A = this chain, B = another copy of it.
């Protein structure tokens, strides 16, 4: 079996670089991380990498569909490797903690817009806002 991440990068028509491998690697341990956090993490193995390069790498990987970007209100963009399943997120309105939530498409009255006014809807993005377990004690 070949190196999985390298393979997926190449298959996406992109060149395999140390920076891209490092970002993918870092993302494994920290789902829903922002660019700066990823930069700090990647720096441990790739000390010279620039923040701007992390931005570029994340942009390329996102566009290639290898990672997913979410942009919660009031937060910088977050990235994750879990893709292809259109899952949703619960976000703590107090501390910003992010939890994956499995797609609720089955029993979801609000996910079928009765009147989308002619929109050709491709995806339904759901964000649950509330308090995480830790923040409920306060």
Name A's B-contacting residues (CB within 8 A).
69-71, 73-74, 77, 88, 90, 92-93, 99, 101-105, 108-133, 136
Residues of B within 8 A of A99 (CB): 116-117, 119
> Contact between A127 and B128 (Cβ–Cβ < 8 Å)?
no
Chain A interface mostly: mixed
In the bound assembly, the distance between CA atoms of A136 and B120 in angstroms comes to 8
Q: How many copies does the complex hold?
A: 2
> Contact between B102 and A118 (Cβ–Cβ < 8 Å)?
no
> Contact between A121 and B74 (Cβ–Cβ < 8 Å)?
no
Residues of B within 8 A of A88 (CB): 110, 113
In the bound assembly, the distance between CA atoms of A88 and B121 in angstroms comes to 13
In the bound assembly, the distance between CA atoms of A77 and B90 in angstroms comes to 20
> 14 more A-B contacts (CB under 8 A) besides A73-B77, A122-B131?
A90-B116, A90-B119, A104-B111, A109-B130, A117-B133, A119-B130, A119-B133, A120-B136, A121-B128, A121-B129, A124-B126, A124-B128, A126-B127, A127-B127
